[in-house]
Amino acid sequence: MPDLSHLTAIGRRSLSAPAKYLLDQGLLVGSILDYGCGRGGDAKRLKADAYDPYYFPVEISRKYDTILSTYVLNVILRSSDRDAVIRTIKSLLHPGGNAYITVRRDVAGPVVTSKGTTQDRVILKLPSVKCTSSYEIYKLSN
């Protein structure tokens, strides 16, 4: 079965709600990478570097003060693959840097969407920065 996870990426006219929250709280500081940025809307608005394996498959050759990864882990179904993404994100942080990993909270378990993609509920063993009915932001520190 082909990987359709890139189809979950949507175009936005403004910052995503999690990115807006992080910006308003002053948590997006220094050099910023949007890891798994999809179509790159947040990265563009934040003037951040962008990485996405489908839309922006660039080699990342530096470390960052802040990394955001928004709604990425929900489309990765195997926990070992999610763990690998978290390890990669941590390896890209400067010492003392922080990553903010947002997962959806409006999915109860593995569901197939109308686009044929699968979304899963993800709970991380990291400190929670903000939790709403639609998303939760976790903090990963280096």
Query: Using DSSP, how many helices (H) and how many strands (E) does the chain show?
Result: 3, 8
Which region among 17-31, 34-48, 111-125 has the lowest average model confidence (pLDDT)?
A: 111-125
Q: Please tell me the distance from the alpha carbon of residue 69 to that of residue 101, in angstroms, as a whole number.
A: 5
H-helix or E-strand spanning residue 112: strand 111-112
pLDDT of amino acid 96: 98
pLDDT(107) > 90: no
Q: How far apart are CA 11 and CA 41, in angstroms?
A: 7
Task: Report the 10 Å Cβ neighbour count for 43.
Answer: 22
Q: What are the structural domains, with CATH classification, of the chain?
A: 5-141 (3.40.50.150)
Q: What predicted TM-score, i.e. pTM, was given to this entire model?
A: 0.88
47-83 pLDDT, tens digit per residue, is 999 999 888 888 999 999 999 999 999 999 899 999 9
- Burial, 142: exposed, middle or buried (Cβ in 10 Å; 0-12, 13-18, 19+)? middle
**Using CA atoms, how far apart are residues 21 and 48, in angstroms rounded to an integer?**
16
* Three-state DSSP class for residue 95: strand
CA 92, 94, 95, 101 torsion-angle sign:
negative
Q: How confident is the model at residue 93 (pLDDT cuts 50, 70, 90)?
A: very high
